[in-house]
């Protein structure tokens, strides 16, 4: 029995048209009059599964007709289809043989929420970042052009209006126009990314979208000219001339790209006819389609921002009472005592902290690259509209812009997800760190992100930032400490990076706190046999592991490192001289991360300091791509970074050390 047939029990019988689609070939065999019913069934399926599993709702509901038309007109076993970002790929998955597993999307061991090359031959790239589809598609088109046997192959890039605002998208357009290669760019214009699209290009597209003169005049001229046989094929040309007159500065034509649109992205017969005509054209063609984010589901249509991503339905609460281990006070107290706890997300703590800073310091400004909601800056934008900057999906510009703000005396806080800051690497180097500009990089999603998978895991920021001289790198153990680090970062003369994960932390109410001092760690729990040097939120798992180890008779210290650069070398030297084992713990790639910082420092200290006898054991994310899972906590378990796994590894190392000493 194959995989599809073994999962038939998950296929709702009430969707007969979708049940017949096991491949795009089945779609092309479906009678045209049934396509509308199929579109509705696809929407119903997406809504049902997304509200159960969580995922991207609005963007997928908005591209149903586009996806149907593309797979109906093109043969993507031979032709090429490249998705930008690919969060809008759910209809594509349903049409390319993955419906039997669609109920597993974003769950552990299930389908990913993005394109994934290991899932299907129809997914050409494992993707999740914006702006790159045009460049990747053009590269494939140029490679195909070298083979005469592939002359009839078509390459299509599906790009959103927000993604088109990325600098790399314009670089791709600029190059595409001079290659002479055939490339179709489908512009899905819904005026949104996660939040409403911003910038001059967005305003330009909006002018095209909303011009009543263009819409009325096109219909009237089409009616008149359509009756004149002598005009014939010149109708499209007449309408293009009209559009140039109504919307000056036609940016696509100026780039040497043929432009068709704007057209209704939900008019399936029109889409089929348009794609059929466009596939006969040579050169680069942009097909501008107007769509509604959340089409077919009223709440998503009326509030596209909230419906961009939907959280999974929470599991039923346990009825039996749960026991909670006693809380541990922060240093300097060595005693463990119970304290009331609260849980809040790091993003919420950041939002509150940056507003408090701005209230006290008029120099503080905030920057995001199209993520005001996700980064927690939406409330800041409401309170300080003139001190908030949403640059769109333009991380390179956002970082260089922050450098300019800092140079002019402002104190910019650039809130950019860890995985997306990678896109602005060169600007971090030149416009910020090389200049010594005082910019605070607030790197949300620094760590594992659960359902979004490898394109969104933030596992490399330490590796690519710590080699730059003069930058300070920090990570808080909870939301309260994050706010203290923001205060430190704004006051510090020079660039600062603060990483923190998705999700929340359990915070002890009114627990004592030591001040944030440059390059100084804090002891959370004393111990004599070994030290766990934890970087950031995994302090919580380290403390729990230490309690488990104490129950086995091991006395293990837990230290909150706070800083990866500069390290607390005085504390590290003391522990290397007084203990056999120092464990590093981080929610980051073990390659080049915090553990590597400690190993490098230990090597240097050992070469010039007497009495160093301790060995460093690195615990971090292993050197492999970490696939999506139902939760961040499950990914931590997979990586051996949960409290039980940490305790087991430390205990094993301590036992091995005891056996070795006994043997001597």
Q: Residue-wise over 512-524: b if at least 16 C-beta within 10 A, else e?
A: eebebeeebbbbb
With residue 342 as reference, give the H or E element that holds it: strand 341-345
Q: How far apart are CA 569 and CA 381, in angstroms?
A: 40
Q: How far apart are CA 569 and CA 589, in angstroms?
A: 22
Identify which of 483, 478, 469, 479 has the alpha carbon closest to the alpha carbon of residue 440. Answer: 483
Q: How far apart are CA 621 and CA 638, in angstroms?
A: 9
Q: How far apart are CA 222 and CA 237, in angstroms?
A: 11
Q: Which two tokens stand for residue 664?
A: 């001597």
Angle at 582 between CA 579 and CA 587, to 5 degrees: 165
Cα dihedral 112, 265, 294, 449 sign: positive
Q: How far apart are CA 620 and CA 428, in angstroms?
A: 25
Q: How far apart are CA 443 and CA 458, in angstroms?
A: 9
Identify which of 612, 487, 581, 588 has the alpha carbon closest to the alpha carbon of residue 538. Answer: 588
Would you call the peptide bond into 180 cis, given omega within 30 degrees of 0 as the criterion? Answer: no
Would you call the peptide bond into 332 cis, given omega within 30 degrees of 0 as the criterion? Answer: yes
3-state SS assignment for residue 260: strand
Residues catalogued as catalytic: 293, 395, 423
The residues near 443 (Cβ < 8 Å, ≥ 6 apart) are 416, 417, 418, 421, 458, 461, 497, 498, 499, 500
Q: How far apart are CA 609 and CA 301, in angstroms?
A: 65
Q: How far apart are CA 351 and CA 366, in angstroms?
A: 11
3-state SS assignment for residue 123: coil
Alpha helices in 552-642 (DSSP H): 569-578, 594-608, 632-638
Q: Which two tokens stand for residue 559?
A: 């230290």
Q: Which two tokens stand for residue 312?
A: 């999974």
Q: Judge whether 421 and 25 are in contact, CB under 8 Å.
A: no
> Quick one: DSSP state of residue 215?
H
Backbone angles phi, psi at 355, to 5 degrees: -65, -45
The region that residue 562 occupies, defined by phi over 0 for left and psi between -120 and 50 for alpha, beta otherwise, is: left
The residues near 408 (Cβ < 8 Å, ≥ 6 apart) are none
Q: How far apart are CA 491 and CA 488, in angstroms?
A: 5
Alpha-carbon dihedral angle through residues 247, 60, 442, 391, given to the nearest 10 degrees: 0
Identify which of 420, 526, 431 has the alpha carbon closest to the alpha carbon of residue 166. Answer: 420
Q: Judge whether 439 and 412 are in contact, CB under 8 Å.
A: yes
Would you call the peptide bond into 566 cis, given omega within 30 degrees of 0 as the criterion? Answer: yes
The residues near 37 (Cβ < 8 Å, ≥ 6 apart) are 17
3-state SS assignment for residue 620: strand
Q: Which two tokens stand for residue 416?
A: 């950019």
């Amino acid at each position: 029995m194959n995989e599809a047939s073994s999962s038939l029990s998950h296929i709702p019988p009430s969707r007969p048209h979708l049940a017949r689609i096991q491949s795009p070939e089945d779609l092309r065999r479906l009678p045209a009059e049934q396509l509308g019913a199929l579109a509705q069934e696809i929407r119903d399926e997406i809504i049902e599964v997304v509200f159960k599993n969580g995922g991207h709702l609005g963007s997928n509901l908005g591209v149903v007709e586009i996806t149907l038309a593309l797979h109906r007109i093109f043969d993507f076993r031979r032709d090429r289809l490249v998705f930008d970002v690919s969060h809008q790929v759910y209809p594509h998955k349903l049409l390319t043989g993955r419906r039997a597993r669609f109920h597993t999307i974003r769950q552990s061991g299930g389908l990913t929420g993005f394109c994934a090359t290991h899932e299907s031959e129809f997914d050409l790239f494992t993707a999740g970042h914006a702006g790159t589809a045009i460049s990747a598609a053009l590269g494939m088109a140029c490679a195909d052009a070298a083979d005469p046997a592939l002359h009839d192959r078509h390459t299509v890039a599906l790009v959103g209006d927000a993604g088109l605002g990325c600098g790399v998208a314009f670089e791709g357009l600029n190059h595409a126009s001079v290659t002479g290669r055939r490339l179709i760019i489908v512009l899905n214009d819904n005026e949104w990314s996660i939040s409403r699209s911003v910038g001059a290009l967005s305003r330009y597209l909006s002018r095209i979208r909303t011009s009543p003169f263009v819409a009325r005049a096109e219909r009237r001229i089409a009616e008149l000219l359509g009756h004149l046989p002598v005009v014939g094929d010149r109708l499209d040309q007449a309408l293009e001339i009209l559009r140039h007159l109504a919307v000056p500065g036609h940016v696509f034509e100026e780039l040497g790209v043929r432009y068709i649109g704007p057209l209704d992205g939900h008019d399936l017969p029109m889409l089929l006819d348009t794609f059929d005509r466009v596939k006969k054209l040579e050169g680069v063609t942009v097909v501008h389609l107007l769509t509604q984010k959340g089409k077919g589901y009223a709440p998503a249509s009326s509030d596209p921002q909230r419906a961009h991503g939907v959280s999974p339905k929470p599991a039923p609460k346990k009825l039996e009472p749960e026991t909670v281990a006693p809380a541990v006070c922060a240093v300097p107290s060595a005693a463990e005592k119970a304290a009331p706890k609260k849980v809040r997300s790091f993003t919420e703590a950041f939002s509150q902290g940056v507003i408090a800073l701005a209230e006290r310091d008029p120099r503080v400004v905030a920057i995001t690259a199209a993520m005001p909601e996700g980064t927690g800056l939406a409330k800041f934008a409401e309170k300080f509209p003139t001190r908030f900057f949403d640059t769109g999906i333009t991380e390179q510009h956002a970082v260089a812009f922050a450098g300019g703000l800092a140079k002019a005396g402002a104190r910019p806080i650039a809130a950019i997800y860890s995985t997306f800051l990678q896109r602005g690497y060169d600007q971090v180097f030149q416009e910020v760190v090389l200049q010594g500009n005082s910019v605070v990089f607030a790197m949300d999603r620094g760590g594992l992100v659960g359902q979004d998978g490898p394109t969104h895991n933030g596992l490399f920021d330490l590796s690519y930032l710590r080699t730059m001289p003069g930058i300070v790198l920090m990570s808080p153990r909870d939301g309260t400490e994050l706010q203290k680090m923001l205060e430190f970062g704004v006051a510090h003369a020079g660039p600062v990076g603060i990483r923190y994960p998705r999700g929340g932390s359990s915070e002890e109410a009114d627990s004592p706190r030591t001040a944030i001092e440059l390059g100084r760690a804090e002891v959370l729990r004393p111990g004599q046999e070994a030290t766990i040097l934890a970087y950031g939120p995994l302090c919580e798992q380290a403390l729990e592991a230490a309690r488990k180890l104490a129950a086995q008779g091991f006395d293990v210290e837990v230290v909150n490192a706070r800083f990866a650069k500069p390290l607390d070398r005085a504390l590290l030297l003391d522990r290397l001289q007084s203990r056999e084992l120092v464990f590093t713990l981080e929610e980051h790639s073990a390659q080049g991360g915090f553990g590597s910082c400690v190993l490098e420092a230990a090597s240097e200290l050992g070469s010039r300091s007497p009495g160093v006898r301790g060995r460093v054991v690195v615990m971090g994310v292993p050197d492999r791509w970490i696939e999506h899972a139902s939760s961040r906590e499950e990914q931590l378990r997979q990586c051996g970074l949960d409290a039980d796994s940490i305790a087991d590894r430390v205990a094993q190392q301590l036992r091995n050390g005891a056996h070795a000493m006994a043997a001597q």
